């Protein structure tokens, strides 16, 4: 748990200061927040990271990156009380949320309140005094639950103490901690979207907030562990189907339909047999889909399109967008050197194909095989050296991209280093063949005109436009694989194409375009994000991924 | 046993011998010999049959038709049971094996069948087969399995098995090399040893057993589970702890804390909790043990994480508590203050099972008993003080109506819960005044204590009086809530007739209630407490003697002449002087304190000294001459100073040949306290404005006291210096 998590994708405000220490602190903050609240989607619901300079009463002063709060009013009467809210409300998807406040100085009287309040609650007050406002006060240790009179709650607190406030968004309660010790439930039935809030009332009062910038004094992760276990036990114990076997039969059906959907026909057959179920699709039809899928997944798009047109003649004609998508993928595969059209033109068979699970055995001539197996015999050290050489050469010669003539150079290189390792061949445009490149360029032009044609006939389609633009962008780089758009060349990108095509075929047979299994997984994920939006905190501890692995 | 049965059976009658057999069965006769030719009519396996029989025997009813029908069914069952036993005697070993296997399948989960087989004498035969080296390993193993299955039944089954000497037989079996057989024996031993009816001592009778069992720990996960479970149940005394400790229990069991099996981890943890309990040597060793490079306290702390099973959290917290109390871990260590304490507080919460709440509260009370900081933290953690109030709400009124099972469960735990809560309150309030206030302000707290003092359960009474004692250390509570609730009444009642441990607590509480500012002092005095306290001073228990004399001492403080006379009369000078030579210093100190309190204000001093002066002066001389601590001597000199303050009593010192010399000696003592007390004494003797002061001054001057006083005016200690100067002024005036 304590290791640095890799996901620190949102280093947004960091670089502004350029301060190294601050940078470190931001990084630590991001890491800790990611670890504590993995279910929170910060695009939708950002976490509180500091006090808001806009959402405060004028008697409040902020410093130290808006983490330190000091009182700057007269502090004569309760009318001089002043509060500040955090920048954002607490997202429900936290499940359990926690922040700490250290009392730097109790000032004159130590009338400090720590707590929560909703947006719009009067800031000329201490937290807890008004509706939708909750606080724990240092001078008397009382808790204030939307009321001017407090209830005896905990000990008093003063200079040097660290007070923590924990909101449980599952049962909508709140408890406080003092110097790492839990003081017990203070509030129940809390409303959603509360902001961390502190209030001060006499001169000299200074407090520092910790929204995750530093390790917490209280072991909040231990508390979260308890709730994660509770929620998961709740899920595990969820009552399923009254009647015996009903549940099992449904699961079996889902599994079977999933297997059929993805055309694992042998497995589907065996599974159906052993669980005594009927398959709702002809075996031949499954096999056809399987064939097409295999072609797509191995990058042989041209053949895949052809086979689809043969087996399902009207499908692509009626669905021009799908055809366009397939063709764009074909273009990408051409760049990749995997499409059958370019491979026939003298490219080598990319070995990596065989690594792809479910890809068919190579049907090409054994010549390819021989050549590829030959290349394996080259020493690796040499290959690496050559690789350096090669990439140097390309980057020097092709500052303006491939189309401006560096191709010749590349091919020359390829020719003189004929015995180079597999890796290098794999990473050459269109498999390194000039003819293939020409074919690819021609294909690209066809694609362009198809796109224009589509636009004329059916109006603008931004998805299509972006798809084409991304695909063409590959040519703008000397080494498309390591370019920012290089991800398109990854074989994993074939999967969505494959499943879209598969779904389209199934739809023509009046079969569901998504298997119920995938549907329910999707539904569960959707449900969780809906829960996050509607304030059900338990979504924090029930990630779908936890159950898929 | 047999005789008793015979006596109980009326002679003659239609079914005499059958009834004898029935009765034997009823009374738990185990291996009834199978007389050839004696046909057992039937055997009752159920209580209602037995009751029916008893009623019949008592002449309360005649055998009903129903009874005859029951006899018929029982007869059938018995026939099959007998068949199983008969097969154990088959000459063909293969048939015997098959017989045992069939028996195994027949008894699983069938308590009636188990009882039948035991009655029919299967156990000795099975043990015989198990011990025979000529038996095949398979047969021996199956025998152990069947015996293990029989042990899973009722407590009576266990008793029968133990009476057949199954334990030595199984322990012997552990010497075999075959793992499967060893596991079967251990499993059966485990089942027997975890039963409350098995005498734990049987594990330790043969000194070679423990080392051998220890060596079996490495054999398999099963041996680990069974052995640790046996140890965890059989380690009940400090001797047991030391036997296990000396045979390497710690080194052997520590690695099991990270076993892949939860059961093994859990049982190993339990072993450590029983080993470390009030055992400094074990605890000190534990802190230095590393498991997979990690300190044991870290391992325990990890086991207290909140996602771990409650049983594991609680037991780990116990281990750390015991280690802390034994001084192996400091009370301000984070693993105590931030982990163990909060974990135990959580165990007291309403969400936990009643058993867990009892254990949690007791362990927490034990953990923080000596440490005020822990008490302060616990008192603000998770509303512990009000959380405990819930312990008094069982059985709840709801459970009584709605759910009989729940009511039964609640009733069983109600006493335990109450005593645990009282203990925890006692521990919480033992030092801090604010916490005591918080406790007494908890709903109905004082009423609960008052009713707890007169509960039938000794455990509850003891805990309640402990709680009261803890709260009685508060001046404020003594003045208010103690008086308002007249706690002295049940307390006095408790003192009339109670076991020593309750008496110690109750009398100690009484001491506090008799402090001069306590409003309860008056009514207690009127209730004739003096006799009671005097009788306590004659107890064999030093603690009771101390409390008795202490209470009298408090009572005598600034008391009326009447009370003082009454104390002296009731106690008797003889007892008073016996207490002055008590071997317990505490008793001596409090007795001196009593004397000092008795000898205050002039008329009282003169009155008591006129009647008991001789003995008192003797006692004072004796103590001043004897080998005693500074505190004792100081107290004695203070008594002397009080005597010197009397009008007539002064003369007892002045006319004593030795006493002025002794005072002189202590004025020159190296200890300032003694010098001060002795100077006080002289100062009282030479005080002006009193009859005969001039003579005394002259006499003492002759004895050289002026020189000494003069010297003492130069003393470095300011109070001694002042005192000497004041005394000198008496001469100058």
Could you read off the pLDDT of B39-96 as tens digits, one per residue? Answer: 333 433 434 444 444 444 444 444 445 555 555 555 555 677 888 888 889 889 899 9
Q: A229, B307: Cβ pair inside 8 Å?
A: yes
pLDDT over threshold 70, residue A301: yes
Q: For residue B307, which residues of chain A lie inside 8 Å, CB to CB?
A: 225-226, 228-229
Say which of B305, B377, B381 has its CB closest to residue A225. B305
Prediction pTM value: 0.75
A404-439 residue pLDDT tens? 333 333 333 333 333 433 444 456 777 777 888 888
Q: B306, A229: Cβ pair inside 8 Å?
A: yes
| Res A426: pLDDT | 52
Q: Which stretch of DSSP H or E encloses residue A176?
A: strand A173-178
| Res B98: pLDDT | 93
When pLDDT is averaged across residues A3-29 and rounded to a whole number, the result is 57
Q: Count CB atoms within 10 A of the CB of residue B132.
A: 12
Nearest CA in chain A to B378: A181
Q: A136-143, long-range: CB within 8 Å, 24+ apart, which pairs?
A: A136/A163, A136/A165, A136/A176, A136/A186, A137/A111, A137/A112, A137/A113, A138/A103, A138/A106, A138/A110, A138/A111, A138/A112, A138/A113, A138/A114, A138/A163, A139/A109, A139/A110, A139/A111, A139/A112, A143/A176, A143/A186, A143/A187
Least trusted range by pLDDT, from A217-221, B8-12, B401-405: B8-12
**Banded pLDDT at A20 (limits 50, 70, 90):** low
| Res A346: pLDDT | 55
Report the residue of B303, B332, B381 to disrupt the A interface, i.e. the one with the largest count of A CBs within 10 Å.
Answer: B381
When pLDDT is averaged across residues B398-425 and rounded to a whole number, the result is 82
| Res A517: pLDDT | 87
Cα B595 from Cα B95, distance rounded (Å): 88
Closest chain B C-alpha to A233 CA, distance in angstroms: 11
Most confident among A243-247, B25-29, B397-401, B487-491 (mean pLDDT): B487-491
| Res B40: pLDDT | 38
Q: For residue A184, which residues of chain B lie inside 8 Å, CB to CB?
A: 381-383, 387
Report the residue of B380, B384, B438 to disrupt the A interface, i.e. the one with the largest count of A CBs within 10 Å.
Answer: B380
Q: For residue A216, which residues of chain B lie inside 8 Å, CB to CB?
A: none
Q: A184, B377: Cβ pair inside 8 Å?
A: no
Residue A240, phi then psi, degrees to nearest 5: -120, 130
Q: B381, A223: Cβ pair inside 8 Å?
A: no
- For chains A and B, count residue pairs whose Cβ atoms are closer than 8 Å: 34
Mean pLDDT of chain B: 84
Strand order from edge to edge, sheet including A51-56: A51-56, A82-86, A194-200, A113-118, A133-137, A142-145, A151-152
Cα B237 from Cα B269, distance rounded (Å): 18
| Res B32: pLDDT | 38
| Res B535: pLDDT | 87
Q: A154, B380: Cβ pair inside 8 Å?
A: yes
| Res B347: pLDDT | 97
Does residue B395 have a cis bond before it (omega within 30 degrees)? yes
| Res A252: pLDDT | 86
| Res B714: pLDDT | 83
Q: B383, A219: Cβ pair inside 8 Å?
A: no
Say which of B305, B306, B382 has its CB closest to residue A183. B382
| Res A477: pLDDT | 86
Closest chain B C-alpha to A79 CA, distance in angstroms: 31
pLDDT over threshold 90, residue A4: no
Q: Which residues of B touch A (CB under 8 A)?
A: 305-307, 338-339, 342, 377, 380-383, 387
Closest chain B C-alpha to A276 CA, distance in angstroms: 35
Q: Count CB atoms within 10 A of the CB of residue A395.
A: 12
pLDDT over threshold 50, residue A232: yes
Q: Report residue A319 as tokens.
A: 């669905």
Q: B307, A185: Cβ pair inside 8 Å?
A: no
| In contact, B457 and B419? CB cutoff 8 Å | yes
Q: For residue B380, which residues of chain A lie inside 8 Å, CB to CB?
A: 154-155, 178, 181, 183
Angle CA A63–A69–A71, to nearest 5:
115
**Banded pLDDT at B16 (limits 50, 70, 90):** very low
Q: A222, B338: Cβ pair inside 8 Å?
A: no
Strand order from edge to edge, sheet including A162-168: A60-63, A68-71, A205-210, A96-106, A162-168, A173-178, A181-187
| Res A13: pLDDT | 42
**Banded pLDDT at B399 (limits 50, 70, 90):** low
Q: Count CB atoms within 10 A of the CB of residue A241.
A: 11
Report the residue of A96, A138, A182 to disrupt the B interface, i.e. the one with the largest count of B CBs within 10 Å.
Answer: A182
Closest chain A C-alpha to B307 CA, distance in angstroms: 5
Say which of B305, B307, B382 has its CB closest to residue A182. B382
| Res B43: pLDDT | 39
| In contact, A227 and A170? CB cutoff 8 Å | yes
Torsion of CA B127, B129, B131, B137, to 10 degrees: -130
B332-379 residue pLDDT tens? 999 999 999 999 999 999 999 999 999 999 999 999 999 999 999 999
Q: For residue A1, which residues of chain B lie inside 8 Å, CB to CB?
A: none
pLDDT over threshold 70, residue B309: yes
| Res B77: pLDDT | 59
B549-574 residue pLDDT tens? 999 998 888 888 888 888 888 888 88
Q: Where are the alpha helices (DSSP H) in A244-300?
A: 246-261, 265-275, 283-297
Q: Report residue B603 as tokens.
A: 């008329």
Q: Report residue A524 as tokens.
A: 């569960």
Q: A183, B342: Cβ pair inside 8 Å?
A: no
Instruction: Kindly list the distances between the CA atom of residue B263 and the CA atoms of A534, B227, B266, in Å, as whole numbers in the listed order.
Output: 42, 12, 5
| Res B401: pLDDT | 60
Q: A223, B342: Cβ pair inside 8 Å?
A: no
Q: For residue A140, which residues of chain B lie inside 8 Å, CB to CB?
A: none
| Res A70: pLDDT | 96
β-strands A142-145, A205-210 pairing? unpaired
Report ipTM for this prediction. 0.76
| Res A116: pLDDT | 97
């Amino acid at each position: 748990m304590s290791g640095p998590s890799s996901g620190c994708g949102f280093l947004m405000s960091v670089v502004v200061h350029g301060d190294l220490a601050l940078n470190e602190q931001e990084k630590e903050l991001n890491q800790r927040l990611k670890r504590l609240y993995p279910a929170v989607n910060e695009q939708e619901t950002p976490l509180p990271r500091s006090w808001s300079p806009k959402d405060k009463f004028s008697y409040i002063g902020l410093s130290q990156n808006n983490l330190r709060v000091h009182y700057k009013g007269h502090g004569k009467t309760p009318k001089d009380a002043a509060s500040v809210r955090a920048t954002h409300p607490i997202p429900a998807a936290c499940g359990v949320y926690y922040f700490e406040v250290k009392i730097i100085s109790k000032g004159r009287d130590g009338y400090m309140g720590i707590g929560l309040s909703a947006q719009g609650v009067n800031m000329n007050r201490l937290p807890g005094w008004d509706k939708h406002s909750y606080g724990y006060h240092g001078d008397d240790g009382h808790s204030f639950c939307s009321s001017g009179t407090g209830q005896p709650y905990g000990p008093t607190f003063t200079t040097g103490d660290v007070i923590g406030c924990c909101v449980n968004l599952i049962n909508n309660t709140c408890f406080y901690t003092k110097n790492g010790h839990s003081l017990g439930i203070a509030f129940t039935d809390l409303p959603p979207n509360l902001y961390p809030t502190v209030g001060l009332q006499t001169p000299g009062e200074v407090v520092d907030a910790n929204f995750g910038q530093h390790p917490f004094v209280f072991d909040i992760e231990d508390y979260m562990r308890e709730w994660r276990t509770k929620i998961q036990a709740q899920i595990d114990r969820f009552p399923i189907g009254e009647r015996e076997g009903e549940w099992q039969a449904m699961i079996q059906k889902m599994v079977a339909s999933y297997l059929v959907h993805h055309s694992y026909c042998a497995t589907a057959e065996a599974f159906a047999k052993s669980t005594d179920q009927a398959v709702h699709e002809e075996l031949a039809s499954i096999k056809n889909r399987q064939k097409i899928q295999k072609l797509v997944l191995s990058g042989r798009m041209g053949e895949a399109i052809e086979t689809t047109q043969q087996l399902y003649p009207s499908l692509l004609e009626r669905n021009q967008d799908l055809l366009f998508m397939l063709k764009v993928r074909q273009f990408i595969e051409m760049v990749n050197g995997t499409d059958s059209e370019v491979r026939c033109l003298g490219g080598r068979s990319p070995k990596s194909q065989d690594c792809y699970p479910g890809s068919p055995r190579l049907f090409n001539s054994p010549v390819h095989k021989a050549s590829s197996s030959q290349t394996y015999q080259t020493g690796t050290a040499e290959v690496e050296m050559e690789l350096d050489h090669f990439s140097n050469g390309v980057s020097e010669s092709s500052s303006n991209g491939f189309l401006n003539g560096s191709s010749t150079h590349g091919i020359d290189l390829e020719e003189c280093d004929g015995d180079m390792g597999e890796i290098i061949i794999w990473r050459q445009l269109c498999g390194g063949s000039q003819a293939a490149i020409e074919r690819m360029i021609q294909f690209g032009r066809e694609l362009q005109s198809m796109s224009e044609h589509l636009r004329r006939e059916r109006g603008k389609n931004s998805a299509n436009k972006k798809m084409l633009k991304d695909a063409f962008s590959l040519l703008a780089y000397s080494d498309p694989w390591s370019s920012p758009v290089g991800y398109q060349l990854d074989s994993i990108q074939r999967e969505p194409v494959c499943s879209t095509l598969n779904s389209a075929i199934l739809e023509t047979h009046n079969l569901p375009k998504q298997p119920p299994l995938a549907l329910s997984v999707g539904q569960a994920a959707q449900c969780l994000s809906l829960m996050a939006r509607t304030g059900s905190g338990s979504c924090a501890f029930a990630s779908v991924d936890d159950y898929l692995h | 046993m047999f005789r008793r049965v015979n006596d109980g059976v009326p002679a003659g009658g239609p079914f005499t011998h059958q009834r004898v057999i029935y009765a034997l069965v009823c009374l738990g006769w185990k291996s009834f010999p199978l007389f050839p030719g004696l046909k057992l009519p039937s055997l009752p396996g159920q209580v209602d049959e037995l009751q029916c029989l008893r009623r019949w025997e008592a002449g309360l009813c005649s055998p009903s038709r129903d009874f005859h029908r029951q006899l018929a069914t029982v007869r059938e069952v018995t026939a099959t049971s007998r068949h199983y036993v008969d097969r154990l005697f088959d000459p063909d070993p293969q048939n015997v094996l098959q017989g045992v296997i069939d028996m195994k399948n027949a008894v699983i989960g069938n308590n009636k069948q188990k009882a039948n087989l035991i009655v029919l004498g299967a156990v000795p035969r099975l043990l015989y087969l198990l011990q025979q080296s000529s038996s095949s390993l398979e047969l021996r193993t199956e025998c152990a399995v069947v015996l293990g299955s029989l042990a899973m039944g009722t407590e009576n089954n266990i008793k029968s098995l133990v009476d057949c000497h199954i334990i030595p037989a199984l322990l012997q079996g552990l010497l075999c090399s075959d793992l499967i057989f060893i596991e079967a024996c251990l499993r059966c031993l485990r089942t027997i040893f975890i039963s409350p009816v098995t005498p734990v001592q049987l594990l330790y009778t043969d000194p070679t057993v423990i080392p051998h069992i220890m060596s079996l720990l490495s054999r398999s996960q099963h041996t680990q589970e069974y052995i640790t479970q046996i140890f965890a149940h059989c380690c009940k005394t400090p001797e047991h702890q030391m036997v296990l400790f000396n045979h390497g229990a710690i080194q052997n069991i520590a690695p099991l804390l990270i076993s892949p099996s939860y059961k093994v981890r859990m049982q190993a943890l339990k072993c450590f909790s029983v080993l470390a309990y009030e055992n400094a040597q074990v605890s000190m060793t534990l802190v230095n043990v590393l498991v997979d490079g990690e300190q044991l306290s870290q391992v325990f702390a990890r086991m207290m994480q909140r996602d771990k099973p409650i049983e594991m959290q609680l037991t780990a917290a116990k281990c750390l508590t015991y280690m802390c109390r034994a001084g192996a871990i400091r009370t301000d260590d984070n693993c105590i203050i931030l982990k163990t304490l909060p974990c135990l507080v959580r165990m007291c919460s309403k969400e936990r099972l009643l058993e867990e709440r009892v254990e949690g509260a007791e362990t927490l009370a034990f953990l923080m008993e000596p440490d005020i900081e822990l008490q302060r933290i616990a008192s603000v953690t998770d509303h512990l003080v009000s959380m405990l109030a819930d312990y008094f709400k069982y059985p709840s009124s709801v459970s009584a109506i709605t759910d009989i099972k729940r009511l039964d469960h609640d009733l069983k735990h109600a006493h335990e819960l109450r005593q645990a809560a009282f203990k925890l309150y006692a521990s919480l309030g033992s030092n801090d005044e604010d916490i005591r206030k918080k406790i007494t302000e908890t709903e109905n707290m004082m009423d609960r204590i008052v009713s707890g003092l007169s509960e039938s359960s000794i455990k509850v009474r003891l805990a309640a009086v402990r709680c009261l004692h803890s709260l009685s250390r508060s001046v404020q509570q003594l003045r208010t809530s103690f008086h308002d609730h007249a706690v002295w009444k049940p307390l006095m009642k408790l003192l009339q007739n109670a076991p020593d441990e309750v008496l110690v607590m109750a009398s100690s509480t009484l001491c506090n209630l008799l402090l001069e500012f306590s409003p309860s002092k008056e009514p207690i005095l009127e209730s004739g407490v003096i006799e009671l306290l005097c009788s306590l001073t004659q107890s064999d228990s030093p603690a009771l003697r101390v409390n008795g004399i202490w209470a009298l001492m408090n009572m005598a403080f600034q008391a009326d002449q009447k009370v003082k006379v009454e104390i002296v009369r009731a106690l008797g000078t003889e007892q008073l002087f016996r207490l002055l030579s008590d071997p317990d210093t505490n008793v001596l100190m409090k007795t001196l304190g009593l004397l000092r309190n008795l000898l205050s204000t002039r008329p009282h001093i003169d009155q008591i000294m006129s009647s008991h002066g001789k003995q008192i002066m003797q006692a004072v001389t004796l103590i001043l001459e004897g080998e005693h601590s500074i505190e004792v001597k100081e107290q004695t000199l203070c008594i002397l100073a009080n005597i010197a303050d009397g009008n007539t009593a002064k003369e007892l010192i002045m006319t004593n040949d030795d006493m002025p010399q002794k005072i002189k000696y202590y004025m020159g003592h190296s200890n300032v306290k003694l010098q001060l007390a002795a100077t006080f004494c002289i100062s009282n003797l030479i005080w002006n404005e009193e009859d005969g002061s001039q003579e005394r001054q002259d006499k003492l001057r002759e004895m050289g006291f002026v020189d000494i006083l003069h010297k003492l005016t130069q003393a470095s200690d300011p109070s001694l210096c002042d005192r000497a100067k004041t005394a000198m002024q008496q001469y100058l005036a």
